[in-house]
Amino acid sequence: MAQSVLIVEDEELVREFISDYFEKEVWSIYEAEDGQEALSIFEKQQIDIVILDVMLPKLDGWTVCRRLRKTSSVPIIMLTARNDEDDKLLGFEMGVDDYVTKPFSPRVLVAKAKALLKRSMGDVYMNDATRKFGLLELNERSRTVSVAGKQAELSPKEFDVLLYLIKQKDTVLTREQLLNAVWGYDFFGDARTVDTHIKKLRAKLGEESKRIVTVIRVGYKFEGM
């Protein structure tokens, strides 16, 4: 089955330029010229990776990224005309997987996409969207979690917190990073919201709760080993 890419770029020539190179590699290609169209396509199609421009009509790339991250860990490569470190740090906190600064080599872009997809589908990512760590099993498509074969009844936000921790496994995440990734930048709560959800998650994960590790004065990390 061909891998699929969603190219979100408002400049038609740039979009076609990127598409040509992915087509040479026999990818299934979907194109969107604005943020709203991108989200609509993503909801209807099985997309393996997203190439996302920052500056878009209707909904910008940041907004599209935030909305995708609420329900999906699909790899995202952000296209930007600015080589700004603060912008890149912001993007990584929001869940962007990689950056490409314009002007760019389409061959390098395709290579990055292949590498990201290979990494995201590593030994814990299977065709049925299940991630397994010991007795813990999470299915992203059905949004279910089980421990030792018994389903854990997680709230939507508890699931989102766990999924984001797993996606960033073995990486220490601050409470602010978790807040921004799961609740969004327009959330008016504070870091205690994260602590409350982590406490509830641990209670529901039983013996696998040990995988969510508290890093004193920093935040949390999910241990994949």
pLDDT surpassing 80 at residue 14: yes
pLDDT tens, position by position, 66-78:
888 887 778 899 9
CATH number of the domain where residue 48 is located:
3.40.50.2300
- Of 1-5, 175-179, 210-214, which has the strongest mean pLDDT? 210-214
- The CA distance from 25 to 33, in Å, is 22
- The CA distance from 210 to 205, in Å, is 9
Task: Say if residue 78 is in the same domain as residue 109.
Answer: yes
CATH number of the domain where residue 202 is located:
1.10.10.10
> Which residue range is the domain that position 101 belongs to?
4-120
What total number of domains does the chain contain?
A: 2
Task: Say if residue 42 is in the same domain as residue 146.
Answer: no
Task: Say if residue 146 is in the same domain as residue 111.
Answer: no
Task: Say if residue 158 is in the same domain as residue 187.
Answer: yes
pLDDT at 74: 83
Residues 6+ apart with CB under 8 A from 110: 21, 22, 25
Task: Say if residue 177 is in the same domain as residue 144.
Answer: yes
Per-residue pLDDT band for 43 (boundaries 50, 70, 90) equals confident
Q: Report CA torsion sign: 30, 31, 35, 36.
A: negative
Of 79, 97, 120, which residue constitutes the final position of a domain? Answer: 120
Per-residue pLDDT band for 83 (boundaries 50, 70, 90) equals low
Task: Say if residue 81 is in the same domain as residue 189.
Answer: no
Per-residue pLDDT band for 51 (boundaries 50, 70, 90) equals very high
Of 97, 120, 143, which residue constitutes the final position of a domain? Answer: 120
pLDDT at 127: 43
pLDDT at 99: 85
Task: Say if residue 111 is in the same domain as residue 40.
Answer: yes
Q: Are strands 150-152 and 144-147 parallel, antiparallel or unpaired?
A: antiparallel
The more confidently predicted of residues 183 and 215 is: 215
Laid out side by side, the sheet with 98-101 consists of 28-32, 4-8, 49-53, 76-80, 98-101
Task: Say if residue 107 is in the same domain as residue 151.
Answer: no
Domain annotation covers residue 183: yes
Of 86, 120, 154, which residue constitutes the final position of a domain? Answer: 120
pLDDT tens, position by position, 103-136:
888 888 998 888 887 766 543 344 446 888 989 9
pLDDT surpassing 90 at residue 89: no
Domain annotation covers residue 125: no
Percent of the chain whose pLDDT exceeds 90: 40
pLDDT tens, position by position, 94-103:
778 888 888 8
Task: Say if residue 78 is in the same domain as residue 142.
Answer: no
Task: Say if residue 148 is in the same domain as residue 116.
Answer: no
pLDDT at 87: 65
Q: Is the peptide bond before 103 cis (omega within 30 degrees of 0)?
A: yes
Task: Say if residue 31 is in the same domain as residue 105.
Answer: yes
Task: Say if residue 46 is in the same domain as residue 94.
Answer: yes
